[in-house]
């Protein structure tokens, strides 16, 4: 049996701190993860790389996070989450999310402020200059997926449930006067205009009761010229 293929196993309490580690070619099928902390790095040169990994129908329980990792050529095919999974400061290249996905929060690196910017902010911007596409969301149905820190223009999306908004358009149109009730888009647009992202994808979560409200809000944003035309 392939030493890097794990099936129906439970992983608990793994911490990856300033390791510059490389996790390459792992496959997890119907596995469970609890208290996993990947790529908790203080400087960009100490971040870990996750490459050529495949997760299929796995479960993430409590206190799991992926921090400043480089994630490349990976597939997540079905992921149940028992709470939000925080992913702060990671960068992505050719990563596919497909199937039913739980609650993921993709966010910029910690320590982001005008007076004390994170060193990962510049490192991530430089990384994305060499990326043709970062994430593929065209085949997934999510419970909740928040996307900040990943350029929306580098995300492959399903235009029927996922819209692209650029910072330029968000600044040019008075979206605060639009009826976006029942959706979380006002918060996302506020962050887009205040911080450094140049574009962001807004998702209507298939597996959440806010789905129809988000679909309606997306139509409002398209009609007002806030969303990019598809």
**Can you tell me whether residue 134 is helix, strand or coil?**
coil
Please identify, among 98, 131, 156, the residue that sits at the C-terminal boundary of a domain. 156
Average pLDDT by consecutive 10-residue portion of the chain (230 residues)?
Answer: 88 95 97 96 96 98 93 98 93 98 92 73 95 98 93 96 96 94 91 86 94 96 94
Supply the range of the domain harboring residue 122.
1-156
pLDDT for 115 equals: 67
Tell me the whole-structure pTM to 2 decimals. 0.93
pLDDT for 114 equals: 63
Counting the structural domains of the chain, the total is: 2
Separation between Cα atoms, residue 202 and residue 186, nearest integer Å: 11
| 182 and 118 inside one domain | no
Please identify, among 98, 128, 156, the residue that sits at the C-terminal boundary of a domain. 156
| 16 and 114 inside one domain | yes
Ramachandran quadrant class, 100 (left: phi over 0; alpha: psi -120 to 50; beta: rest): beta
Q: Please report the DSSP string for 1-40 in residue order.
A: --TTEEES-EEE--EEES---EEES-EEES-EEES-EEEE
| 152 and 166 inside one domain | no
Closest CA to 67 of 98, 36, 112: 36
């Amino acid at each position: 049996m392939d030493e890097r293929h794990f099936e129906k196993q439970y992983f608990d309490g793994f911490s990856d701190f300033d390791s510059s580690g490389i996790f390459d070619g792992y496959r997890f099928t119907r596995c469970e993860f609890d208290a996993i902390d990947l790529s908790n790095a203080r400087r960009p040169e100490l971040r870990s790389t996750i490459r050529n990994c495949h997760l299929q129908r796995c479960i993430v329980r409590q206190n799991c996070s992926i921090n400043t990792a480089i994630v490349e050529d990976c597939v997540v095919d079905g992921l149940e989450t028992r709470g939000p999974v925080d992913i702060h400061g990671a960068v992505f290249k050719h990563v596919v999310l497909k199937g039913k996905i739980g609650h993921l929060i993709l966010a910029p690196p910690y320590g982001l402020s005008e007076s004390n910017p994170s060193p990962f902010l510049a490192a991530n911007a430089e990384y994305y200059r060499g990326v043709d596409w970062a994430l593929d969301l065209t085949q997934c149905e999510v419970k909740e997926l928040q996307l900040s820190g990943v350029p929306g223009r580098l995300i492959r999306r399903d235009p029927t449930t996922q819209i692209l908004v650029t910072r330029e358009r968000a600044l040019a149109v008075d979206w605060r006067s639009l009826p976006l009730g029942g959706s979380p888009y006002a918060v996302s647009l506020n962050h887009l205009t205040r911080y450094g992202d140049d574009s962001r994808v807004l998702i209507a979560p298939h597996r959440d009761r806010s789905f129809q409200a988000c679909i309606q809000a997306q139509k409002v944003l398209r009609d007002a010229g806030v969303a990019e035309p598809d």
